[in-house]
Structure 1
Amino acid sequence: MADKCDLCLLGLIILSSLLTGTSGVDDENVFISSGENVRLPCNNALSDCTSTTWIYNSIRHSAAVELIALGIKKKDTERHESLSLGSDCSLNIKDVTEEDSGFYICQQWTGPKRDQKQGSDARVSLHVLHVSVSSSSSSSSQTEISPGRSVTLSCQWYSGLSCRDLVRSEGLQLLWVNQAGVDLTTDSRYQILFSSDHCIINLTTTLLNEDDNREWRCQLTLRNQLQTSVRYTVKYSAQDVHESTVRVAVISVAAVAVFLLAVLWLICRKTADNKRGTVDSAVKDENEHKGTYETINTSIPPAARANEQTDDHVTYSEVTSSNKKPVKSVDDHNDTVTYAAIR
């Protein structure tokens, strides 16, 4: 119970120092992004680090954990291999993770039996900014990131302090920006969602071919002052690029094939129309050039031929006109006309 009370009291002290803008000589706030190395200063250190003890408090632990005891690293602690004591009695942590966030206390113990605490505690609050990635199919690593996939980058601030309180009082902000430092909320390609309850900001987008080696940064600011940032760079494997190129090539070939088929169909249709028009024109010309033939018969009556030698004689001529092809008249019937000349 005492350890929990000490943890709550330490959190209130550090929060108060942030809210008021002042901090005591023994208070320190360190902001870092995951994956980096960090140094936590011990502001009450003596010349001899054999008197130095480092204690770690975290919301995730029910009790305080002793990391360094009288200058000697404890080997039974988590991630003890990443810890080391500096020559100035500072605590060095390699390859920081979100699990390392929390409150650290540096104490000095002196006396014949190292049982007397010297001076006040040096308090350090470690704030860690961490980015995780998930793809549209499942939680994935960078090697599974490829063009055409929808990905979500989650940037979360880990600390023992209340994110909601700092958002209201200190203007804490988490932002996703591009390489030029432009806020990505201004680009409709990205969907940005911030939660002050968990101090997390998500960026969701669909990756493009040109996103290879593109960098996005998550920034943490307090009072409009940048505290820390973490970078995420899109990395496509050679296989991803090859598959994407093949996919684009297949789509392009398919589009060209469809276009050529459409052009060929239009050409065939045009040729058929032209051929049909030529045949119709030939039939029409043939019908138009079909002539109408007439037969004219001339006959002289026998009686008239017998009297041809006389002066006063009559010659009869009979002309008959007929069409091989019926010709429509006004009355829509054929006529036979006989002409007679009398001399």
Structure 2
Amino acid sequence: MARTQLILIFLLQFTAGISGNRFLYYRLGNDVTLPCDDVPPSTTRCSLISWLYNRRTDSQTTTKVKKGKVNQNLPGAERLSLSRNCSLIINNITAEDAGRYVCRIGDVAEFDRLVHLNILTISPSPPDADPKTDDEVTLKCSLLRFGSCPLNSIRWVDEKGTVLLGEGDGFKFDGQTDCVSLLTVKHQSSHNQQKIHLPVY
């Protein structure tokens, strides 16, 4: 069987969910801006804007920003700020930043804007595996998000868009457990590449 160059693309397939929700996908270490859509002109100074946060569906709500001011008592507060249009800026995102954010105007929830920050991590498993020298390496794709991941929602495809399932030339799909998907690939050449496709909803 011919040994062909394998280009890996991580294809995430999720339902966008309730209308008015934003779903954003980033890598660890990125700087991100969470938009607060359609903020009325009367709040341009952000004095009525609060940003609330939940890591999981069953977690306690944390107030990241209250009435335009960042809560300095929270871990990572130095990485938070508001833009001129009251969007929440998070610098150098970490795994702890993934979750659901709510932009609230005033003290009522009627016009809440919801933004889901999803963070993708890709690493060899075990961590000390070397993709450049090992005969084969298992790649671990983890998605940190608010809530669980549906079965088969994280898919691996090759450069032709073919979904990699089971076992084939140079790869073996090891399955998905919640928000973690594993793919074992054989070392084929020094020119192997990895590409990541992050959809925007």
TM over 0.5: yes
Counterpart Cα distance in 1 of 2:160 and 2:80: 34
Matched, 1:28 2:25: no
Matched, 1:201 2:174: no
Counterpart Cα distance in 2 of 1:203 and 1:118: 42
- The CA deviation at 1:35 is 3.0
Matched, 1:189 2:189: no
Counterpart Cα distance in 1 of 2:31 and 2:157: 23
- Tell me, yes or no, if the aligned pair for 1:44 and 1:119 is still in contact at 8 Å: no
- Tell me, yes or no, if the aligned pair for 2:148 and 2:178 is still in contact at 8 Å: no
Change (3 A) 1:50 1:159: same
Counterpart Cα distance in 2 of 1:183 and 1:95: 33
Counterpart Cα distance in 2 of 1:121 and 1:93: 19
Q: What is the TM-score when the length of structure 1 is the normalising length?
A: 0.46
- Tell me, yes or no, if the aligned pair for 1:30 and 1:124 is still in contact at 8 Å: yes
- The CA deviation at 1:57 is 0.6
Structure ranking higher in strand proportion: 2
Which has the larger Rg?
1
Counterpart Cα distance in 2 of 1:131 and 1:147: 18
Question: Given the alignment, which residue of 181, 193, 198 partners 1:215?
Answer: 193
Matches within 5 A, 1:319-330: none
Per the alignment, residue 31 of structure 2 pairs with 37
Q: What is the TM-score when the length of structure 2 is the normalising length?
A: 0.73
Give the residue type in structure 1 aligned to 2:190.
Answer: D
Q: Identity of paired residues, percent? A: 23
Counterpart Cα distance in 1 of 2:74 and 2:197: 31
Gaps of 5+ in 1: 1-14, 110-115, 221-225, 229-343
Matches within 5 A, 1:112-261: 116-117=107-108, 120-135=111-126, 139-140=127-128, 145-164=131-150, 172-177=153-158, 180=159, 182-183=161-162, 185=164, 187-195=168-176, 197-208=177-188, 210-211=189-190, 214-219=192-197, 226-227=199-200
- The CA deviation at 1:32 is 2.4
Matches within 5 A, 1:9-28: 18-19=16-17, 23-24=19-20, 27-28=21-22
The CA RMSD over aligned residues, in Å, is: 3.1
Name the count of aligned residue pairs.
183
Structure ranking higher in helix proportion: 1
Question: Given the alignment, which residue of 54, 73, 77 partners 2:74?
Answer: 77
